[in-house]
Amino acid sequence: MEYNTTRNHLVMREYGRHIQRMIEYLLTIEDRDERERNAQSVIELMGFLNPHLKNVEDFRHKLWDHLFLISDFKLEVSSPYPIPTKESLKPKSDVLPYPKRYPKYSHLGKNLELIIQKALQEENADKKNGLSNAIAYYMKLAYANWHKETVHDDAIQGELSAITNGQLEFTNTPFVRSFRPVENRDRGGNGYGDYRNKRNQKFQRNNNNRSNDRNNDRSNDRNNDRGGKFKKKRY
């Protein structure tokens, strides 16, 4: 038995291994005319196996490019299109530079520093005030996330003034919900725990009322049956 791990590398999975073996056989044909006739047959078969490519522009041009690609650009046949090279079909990608940004205030991040710089350059007073309020809200939110406790607005204003040299001030009070530990949610007190307890109590009361109603109906039916034995039959 032959496994895929022992076979050569499959260049294009879209065409399968049989097409690749046909192209490898084309490389062994010494007669150029016969090799070109077989290459035309392989091109037709490749187009038949991928009918969705017919809607693509330059359909046959792509098939010829794939033919040379699968043959590792070693196939010598006449092509109706320019014969591609390895560099044209497989261009080497440029190295993506890694962003090197060193924030001055690491606990706030580089993005907030860029927003602060934009707010300092803003000439419109309303927009500048709005940016200041948004910056203060984010600073308070970041403080609550890291310290798990509330912070006074004076501390936020003091840090913002230290960063901007007193050029930015926020007018509204940024509201951030205080941190509440997860283990206290299911216990007593306000929150989801009380809601769940009330819901369970209401569900229990409804079940008790249903069971009482069923018991009352059964007792009434028994009393009616007993009383029915002594009633006179009416005609």
Q: How far apart are CA 139 and CA 162, in angstroms?
A: 13
Condensed to tens digits (0 to 9), the pLDDT of residues 156-165 reads 888 888 888 8
SS3 69: helix
Q: How far apart are CA 133 and CA 59, in angstroms?
A: 57
Q: What is the DSSP-derived secondary structure letter of residue 27?
A: T
How many CB atoms sit inside 10 A of residue 230's CB?
A: 6
DSSP strand E in 25-135: where? none
Q: Is the pTM of this model over 0.75?
A: no
Asked if residues 107 and 123 have their Cβ atoms less than 8 Å apart, the reply is no
Asked if residues 232 and 225 have their Cβ atoms less than 8 Å apart, the reply is no
Q: What is the DSSP-derived secondary structure letter of residue 194?
A: H
pLDDT for position 235: 43
223, amino acid identity: N
Domain residue extents for the chain: 8-89, 110-182
pLDDT for position 34: 92
Mean pLDDT in consecutive groups of 10 residues from the start of the chain, 235 residues = 78 87 90 91 88 77 89 88 82 78 75 86 86 86 77 82 83 61 48 61 67 62 53 49
Residues 6+ apart with CB under 8 A from 101: 110
Handedness of CA 75, 76, 82, 83 (dihedral sign): positive
Condensed to tens digits (0 to 9), the pLDDT of residues 147-201 reads 777 778 888 888 888 888 888 888 776 665 554 555 544 444 455 556 666 666 6
